[in-house]
Amino acid sequence: MAVMGALLVVLVVFIVYSLAVEGAHIGQRVQRGTPADLGRLEMFQTPGVMETGPGQYRVSVIGQAFSFAPALIQLPVGAQVTFFASSRDVLHGYHVAGTNINVELIPGEIATWSYTFREPGEYRVSCNEYCGISHQNMVGTIQVLPEAEFAALREQQEAPPAAPGDAAAGASLELGAQVYAANCVACHQANGQGLAGVFPPLSGHAADVYAADGGREYLVDVLLYGLMGPIPVQGATYNGVMPAWSQLSDEQIAAVLNHVLASWDNAGRVEELPYGAADVAARREDAKTPDQVYAARGQLGLEE
């Protein structure tokens, strides 16, 4: 009995000790906040990686069906990293393979945890909480780079972009294809056909919308503010949710719209590079709800 009691005490001491010393990877609440609040919170103003001090970084991530924003995170090895994360819609998980990072992303909860990546390499991030039909495709990557490589990368990213010559500068098709592969492909698929009954096709449909009266502005609003409600597309009704992508930059949103309108059955139906960053910036001034975007869709006069 005494031996058993002693063993139990030893067990408890070990657990408490390891949590005290190595427990920072446990996700804890910073504060509560609805998905609508996320855009207003300081830590989500600049999603992704931010240097907060020498060797110290902050990473802000939002989970939304069916991707992490941002999906790719690049960090230097050995840095002390503090994560902030939440969900914009339903439950998601943030599990980094090969580490002790495993946190539930819960709408209403803003979570924080700290971690130091001691080995360079690519770490796979998987959503490990069922979140809907494309849950399996919700993955991300954390690249941990040697310090010199990370510094070079930072320098490259901070270099000023090419001087804006025309409206579409920066909103290139290459960038659009990258944004599409990272954020859109899980639902709308690489061939733009969507998933039958769940996510609508963009192939052909995006060009139809663009051609409608008011469609050009509506497409930007869908990306910035999301869309919710049943929509008929090419003979089938879809009742999913399009999340808001306002955390993407103006260039990225313009680029992905340009990419979609230049791809699949949309190709050749719209002039080249119809959107520029300024078009997106203009639509940001008049914030809408997904319901308002849905109502605007009804005004387009789409024949579907």
Partner 1 sequence: MTTGTVAVARARTVLAHPEKRVTLAFLVTGFAALLVGALIGPLQALNYAGIDVYRYLPILASYYQGLTLHGVLNALVFTTFAITGLILYLPARELDMRPNMALVWFAYWLMLFGLVMAGVAVATNTSSVMYTFYPPLMGHWGFYIGLTLVVVGSLLVGGHVIHMRLMWKRAHPELATPIVAYMSVVTWYLWFVTVVGLVIEMVFFLIPWSLGIIDGVDPQLARTLFWWTGHPIVYFWLLPAYVSWYGLVPRQAGGELISDGLTRLAFLMFLLFSTPVGFHHQFTDPGIPAAWKLVHSLMTMMVGVPSLLTAFTVAASLEIGGRRRGGRGWFGWIPKLPWGDASFAAQALAMISFVFGGAGGFVNAAFNLNVVVHNTTWIPGHFHLTVGTATALTFMGITYWLVPHLTRRPLYSNRLALWASWLWFTGMMVFGLGMHWQGLLAVPRRAHISNLADNLQGIYADAAVPAAITGISGVILFFAVICYFTVLFGTLFSKRELSEAETPQVPWVQNVRIHSEGVTRFLDRISFWLVIAVVLVLIAYGPVLWDMFRNQVGIPGLKLW
User: By the criterion CB under 8 A, which residues form the site for partner 1?
Assistant: 8, 11-12, 15-16, 18-19, 22-23, 25-30, 32-35, 65, 89-91, 93, 95-98, 100-104, 106-112, 124, 126-137, 139, 181, 185-186, 189-190, 197-198, 239-241
Find the shortest distance in angstroms from Cβ 2 to partner 1: 16
If the CB atoms of residues 114 and 126 are measured against partner 1, the closer one turns out to be 126
Query: Which CB atom, from 214 or from 229, has the smaller least distance to partner 1?
Result: 229
Identify the bridge partners of residue 62 per DSSP, sorted by sequence position. 69, 86
Q: Please spell the DSSP secondary structure of 57-75, one letter per residue.
A: EEEEEEEETTEEESSEEEE
**How far out from the chain centre does Cα 85 lie?**
11
Tell me the sheet residues that pair with 57.
Answer: 51, 81
Q: How far is the CB of 281 from partner 1 (least distance, A)?
A: 29
Q: What is the distance between the alpha carbons of residues 148 and 108, in angstroms, rounded to a whole number?
A: 39
Q: Which is nearer to partner 1, 102 or 172 (CB)?
A: 102
Q: From the CB of 9, what's the least distance to partner 1, in Å?
A: 11
CB of 218 to partner 1, least distance (A): 22
Nearer to partner 1, 19 or 151 (CB): 19
Q: How far is the CB of 43 from partner 1 (least distance, A)?
A: 14
- Comparison of 281 and 292: residue with beta carbon closer to partner 1: 292
CA dihedral in degrees (240, 277, 67, 292; nearest 10)? -30
Of 206, 225, 179, give the one whose Cα is nearest residue 274: 206
Question: C-beta of 82: minimal distance to partner 1 in Å?
Answer: 14
Conformational region of residue 161, where left means phi above 0, alpha means psi within -120 to 50, and beta covers everything else: beta
CB of 249 closer than 8 Å to CB of 157: no
DSSP letter for 129, please. Answer: S
Indicate the residue among 62 and 106 with the shorter CB distance to partner 1.
106
What are 241's two structure tokens?
């949710």
Tokens of 140: 């991300």
CA distance 157 to 247: 18
- For partner 1, give the closer residue by CB, 52 or 136: 136
State in angstroms the smallest separation of the CB of 136 from partner 1. 4
Q: Which two tokens stand for residue 116?
A: 């130091």
